[in-house]
Structure 1
Amino acid sequence: MAFDAEPDFTRFTPHLLSPAIGAELLGADLTNPDDTLISEVRAALLKYQVVFFRDQHDLTRQQHIDFARAFGELEIHPATPKDQPNPEVLRIAHGPNSKGQENNWHSDVTWRAEPSLGSILRAIELPKIGGDTLFSNMVMAYEDLSEELKERLCNMTAIHDIARVFAKRLGKDPTSLHERFPPQEHPVIRTHPETDARVLYVNIAFTDHIVGMDRAESDALLQYLYHRAWLPEYQCRFRWAPGSLAFWDNRACQHYAASDYFPNIRIMERVTIAGDRPYFTANA
């Protein structure tokens, strides 16, 4: 898979991070976006799966929220403190007393009945070095499977469970978490609702087991599928700097936040756009 590097856009110039995924949208100004910029960013997101913005030093928290809202309804994460102003913002802060925990390949909130469309992450405070975020193309991960395995997987569903990560992180009993967020059954291969691409849609953080399969067999198959995200040929790596933002399509890619900066401080703020229920279309 290779991208056309010709300038298709009027409000920014794409700079590719790898042949597989990711582009910096150079020259974009997010402080006062108009309909044209929003439309072009959406098109770039669908093309590159994750897009990056540099030098947005003047962007405020409210402008971050407003920019995200231009792409759809916003969701509130259960890890957000209930008394926090701007509950749409998930603050992810690590330092001497909190080592980063997001260093597993995953797509955000697949434990929801309607997992998110995408997330927009803004750098607030960064270590001098480290704390990069990696992204992996799950369309390519599907396309490179054998035809026999593709056929099998397209008839499978899997259970996604919030408790796999957040029971410990939030200090809650799985049963109480499941009362609010019951485990969800999603297709192992989903159809992207805007591009019709087929996407490998299991991740090591939240996918628990394949429905109707012996547990040992399910574990073995899932381990193989989880590791498809680890292949460097599917990836790009983003080095954060002050004023940087990343906007990724949770329906098409996975990401991994490198936890290599402890005990230094890394503070990020994420605003997430709600999505729809995953589905598979046989004739897509």
Structure 2
Amino acid sequence: MSLSFTRLTPALGALVQGIDLSRPMSADEQQEIRQALILHQVLFFRDQNISPIQQRDFAARFGDLHTHPIYPQHPEASQILVLDTEAHDLKDNAIWHTDVTFSETPPLGAVLAARQLPENGGDTLWASSFAAYDALSDRLRILLEGLTATHDFTKTFPLKRFGLTAADRQRWNETRLNNPPLSHPVVRTHPESGRKGLFVNEGFTTEINELPEEEGKALLNFLFAHQSRPEFSVRWRWALGDVAFWDNRSTSHYAVDDYRPARRVMHRATILGDKPY
């Protein structure tokens, strides 16, 4: 059965059919999926019965994998981080964010698998940074060119919430030492497509470096709100067996926190990326 890609919204997202992710991919399948990821920015696969090891191996076909410094790892595959609402309060994922932009080389992408879901709720939204950038006025795009912004690990992972035990505090301090605040361009050029997109996010971006504090704050607040407009996004209602694969270089996402006290467990493999420019 050949691969097919069905576009979900004008901005981004496609449903992929014709592949079993529990089986090794051919080189042709891998290339088709990579090209579709660049084009559609987030890909969805239904009815996939994959183990954590198979999820890891699928993600590793697209690059070396990242090990998250804070979230726990799966015992069978250390490259799989476990997002379990019974173990951690994940309310910080209920904002628009791009993963690990506090790193000098933020991830290329991520593969997320649904393991346990609430009866209702728990959807995830993705937004296209390309669509958001393209919708800006010419004058504002000119202003943004050449600006850089600071990204800080502590904005989403404050010590008061992620340093509750001695071991947690030690892990947090080591992560802070290894990940000091750093700067990325406000407008990023995608290294494979050449398209430009906004590269600031509410999860980790704290200031625009070249502007006075109040001006930078006002501009960031506008860009955060602008990126979240519904016409730039796709919303996915999870079912068990679903897998999502997104391009972290050109998207942000929002995990809707509307299902408490039900439990939600997701597994994520994160693919290492390169330095934004």
* Alignment TM-score > 0.5, same fold: yes
Q: Cα deviation per residue 1:73-102 (whole Å; 9 max; x = unaligned)?
A: 101101244794422111001149846431
Determine if the alignment matches structure 1 residue 145 to structure 2 residue 136.
Answer: yes
Cα 1:159–1:98 shift into 2, 3 Å: closer
Residues 11 and 40 in structure 1, CA contact (< 8 A), matched pair in contact too = no
* Structure 1 spans left out of the alignment, 5+ residues: 1-9, 280-284
After TM superposition, the score normalised by the length of structure 1 is: 0.90
* Structure 2 spans left out of the alignment, 5+ residues: 164-168
Q: Which residue of 2 aligns with 1:16?
A: 7
Q: What is the 5 A alignment of 1:264-279?
A: 264-279=262-277
The share of aligned pairs that are identical, in percent, is 41
Kindly provide the amino acid, as one letter, of the partner of residue 67 in structure 1: F
Residues 71 and 83 in structure 2, CA contact (< 8 A), matched pair in contact too = no
Q: Which residue of 2 aligns with 1:114?
A: 105
Secondary structure in 1 aligned to 2:93?
coil
Please point out which of 192, 195, 206 is paired with 1:194. 192
Query: In 2, Cα distance between the equivalents of 1:240 and 1:202?
Result: 26
Determine if the alignment matches structure 1 residue 63 to structure 2 residue 63.
Answer: no
Q: Which residue of 1 aligns with 2:225?
A: 227
After TM superposition, the score normalised by the length of structure 2 is: 0.92
Kindly provide the amino acid, as one letter, of the partner of residue 103 in structure 2: R
Kindly provide the amino acid, as one letter, of the partner of residue 9 in structure 2: S
Q: Cα deviation per residue 1:177-211 (whole Å; 9 max; x = unaligned)?
A: 43111111100001000000001000011001011
Higher alpha-carbon deviation: 81-90 or 222-231: 81-90
Kindly provide the amino acid, as one letter, of the partner of residue 208 in structure 2: I
Secondary structure in 2 aligned to 1:227?
helix
Query: In 2, Cα distance between the equivalents of 1:28 and 1:247?
Result: 14
Cα 1:68–1:83 shift into 2, 3 Å: closer
Higher alpha-carbon deviation: 31-40 or 237-246: 31-40
Q: Which residue of 1 aligns with 2:166?
A: none
Q: What is the 5 A alignment of 1:13-162?
A: 13-32=4-23, 33-57=25-49, 59-81=50-72, 84-95=75-86, 98=89, 100-162=91-153
Q: Cα deviation per residue 1:146-178 (whole Å; 9 max; x = unaligned)?
A: 111111101100110001111244224987543
Residues 123 and 243 in structure 1, CA contact (< 8 A), matched pair in contact too = yes
Cα 1:175–1:122 shift into 2, 3 Å: closer
Residues 122 and 270 in structure 1, CA contact (< 8 A), matched pair in contact too = yes
Q: Which residue of 2 aligns with 1:260?
A: 258
Kindly provide the amino acid, as one letter, of the partner of residue 54 in structure 1: R
Q: What is the 5 A alignment of 1:244-255?
A: 244-255=242-253
Residues 74 and 274 in structure 1, CA contact (< 8 A), matched pair in contact too = yes
Q: Cα deviation per residue 1:44-76 (whole Å; 9 max; x = unaligned)?
A: 10110000000002x111110000000001011
Query: In 2, Cα distance between the equivalents of 1:84 and 1:120?
Result: 18
Please point out which of 212, 216, 224 is paired with 1:214. 212
Kindly provide the amino acid, as one letter, of the partner of residue 137 in structure 1: S
Residue 217 of structure 1: how far off its partner (Å): 0.8
